[in-house]
Amino acid sequence: MHAFDILGEPVRRRILELLERGERPAGDIGAIIQREFGISQPAVSQHLRVLRESGFTTVRADGTRRFYAVRPALFREVTDWVERYRVHWEDQFDALDGHLSAVQGRPVRSSRTRRRTRRNGRS
Amino acid sequence: MHAFDILGEPVRRRILELLERGERPAGDIGAIIQREFGISQPAVSQHLRVLRESGFTTVRADGTRRFYAVRPALFREVTDWVERYRVHWEDQFDALDGHLSAVQGRPVRSSRTRRRTRRNGRS
DNA sequence: GACTTATATAAAATGGAACTTATAATAAGC
DNA sequence: GCTTATTATAAGTTCCATTTTATATAAGTC
């Protein structure tokens, strides 16, 4: 599975967000995801499996608990791909911005538009 | 559709790669994609539609030709998301690298591993 | 105006990921 | 040892994006 296929899934992206600050037991993740997306425990467990098997996360066992944590390595594939375009297209974007501000006299991209579209469940 | 859903598709990623150097007519794109992925012309055309309607590309008509070009704006959503993690996790990664090189006496991450897994067609 | 080229749209088929229900596995608590 | 808690796996179903086949549109060519 390509890295993008892993991230091209709202639930999995959310799980990775939850792990941003550090490791968490599967139960914690499950509770949050189930509440937010309205899916069952096995469903979450299966997403965790995908993340685990694809190498996006590691797992540490402690008793019956499984602590999941992000493994940054695989993100390289994504960041590299994106970075290639960012550098390339940023120029065009800035050029367009410059053009617009020159024409309209407004400031150059003071704040970026961050849109976080969270769809509920199924894609 | 979230930006990641657009990029979470090998054909569409490839199309965007083909547009990296500048605009191209739908036919050119179609020929290459059909050869590489073994899918039909309408299939390609529908991917182009997704890219068009999601705002990832623009189209310019010239006769019967349709010239597609990348529109960088939407990439912000992806780069922002990724960037957040990159900055955060790069530290951990570098720390690990530093540790390893300290232990083994090898240079610190001289070249990044770029793996480009291209699967053929269906996921 | 018939013919070809270039591209898109419609409708139906298909394939597979993601979900559910049910159950197993494993450890901890009593 | 039985029960409870935590998590994973199995099997079956559903859903929807992707694909195909078929056709439409629209512009060049002769």
Q: What is the mean pLDDT of chain A?
A: 74
The pLDDT tens digits for A39-71 are 999 999 999 999 999 999 999 999 999 999 998
CB of B9 within 8 Å of any CB in chain A?
A: yes
Pairing type for strands B57-62 and A24-25 reads: unpaired
Q: Does B114 touch chain A (CB under 8 A)?
A: yes
pTM of the model: 0.74
For residue B13, say whether its CB is under 7 Å from any atom of strand D: no
Which segments in chain B show pLDDT lower than 50? 93-123
* Contact (CB<8Å) B2/A9: no
DSSP state of B121: S
Distance of CA A21 to the CA centre of its chain: 13
- In angstroms, the CA A55 to CA A52 distance is 5
Nearest CB to A5 within list B8, B86, B114: B8
* Cross-chain CB nearest to A86 (options B79, B84, B93): B79
With a cut of 70, say whether residue A24 has pLDDT above it: yes
- A33 or B81, which is more confident: A33
CB B48 within 8 A of CB B26: yes
Q: What is the spatial distance, in angstroms and rounded to an integer, between the CA atom of B72 and the C1' atom of C6?
A: 27
> Is some CB atom of chain B closer than 8 A to the CB atom of A55?
no
User: Counting Cβ atoms within 10 Å, is residue A93 exposed (0-12), middle (13-18) or buried (19+)?
Assistant: middle
Residue of chain A minimizing CA distance to B89: A72
Q: What pLDDT does residue B108 have?
A: 31
